[in-house]
Structure 1
């Protein structure tokens, strides 16, 4: 099955999902969420409410206790490695489970999504230069993640999440710890992604004043989205 055959209408479908932590605490109780193609959903919640666990659930790092999770028409299950690889290649991520690989340079981290799908080397380099320029990372291309500041690391992750224009972007706390200038740049970028036709899931502690067009805002409380 080729990527062209992946169902596009419902990008994310979470149906009646319950999930417990490794210690047995209930995180989600009959959780339901649908994100359609081109839709932006902002989920806010207090620290410890399960926002990062939601991101981990969507990329197959967590198994549900009950219910079902589907991305691009495919059910997400940890044991279905081949399907998981295909699903993950359709997702650009920032924060949470989407950290940078410490043994790869900034340039190598950014181009990784293109490498994984076998994109031509020339196109990889063309897009890399565009991302490095767009996110002001040209001087950091040869550095390794452990030597980056938190803000620099965030910008590298945004560049990596943008280079392949995957249909779904999941962003966990995109504005945390940013200086005012970078905050403005990131909010402008989020608006750009939202109107590009890509689906966008933003996970935040507090609702940002980003004015993203047609964004749906939900609150994660007591294991449910309200």
Structure 2
């Protein structure tokens, strides 16, 4: 799951305003941010290496340290300590753990295959990105729609008002993520657009993913706090 994880951060900030939105946004995608880091450390190398060749169905990575079940227990403990110390709140520590846990649950239904600890151990996911990418995207779209509906509904109950432009901007961030995945579900950009083979040194897969996540995080951190209390 790509865009859908961010919705959990919006709801966490709504329910626990003592925490920072940027903090929740980062935590909601922490496992993926760790994946990017471990990729460059040579621990979770992702293929294909060229962004123009990548699709949801052909992308391969053994997310041993960032996403597997046993390391998840370690990350849960770490984020609890960080949340408790930074915000001086046990409650924020528990919410931090929840964001990490729900990331794993959402990936179980819509994401790459994960395991207990390594490819040779019990599978801990449906692996729908590879097996049925369009079903995976549908699951993410439904989850995102319900989560955003709940988020905006609760804001209205709490007297929060947003301009139509602001709401559209927030929804567009998630729409972008879903459309991006639809475009490359089973066919690469090279195949779709007839792009020839070339290497300029910056068309590799991982920087493209990092840019996508970074742009979405920036936009949400910019647009979500822009509201008024009635």
Structure 1 length-normalised TM: 0.33
Richer in helix (by share): 2
Higher RCO (C-alpha 8 Å, min separation 6): 1
Q: TM-score, normalised by structure 2?
A: 0.32
- Identify, as 1 or 2, the structure richer in strand: 1
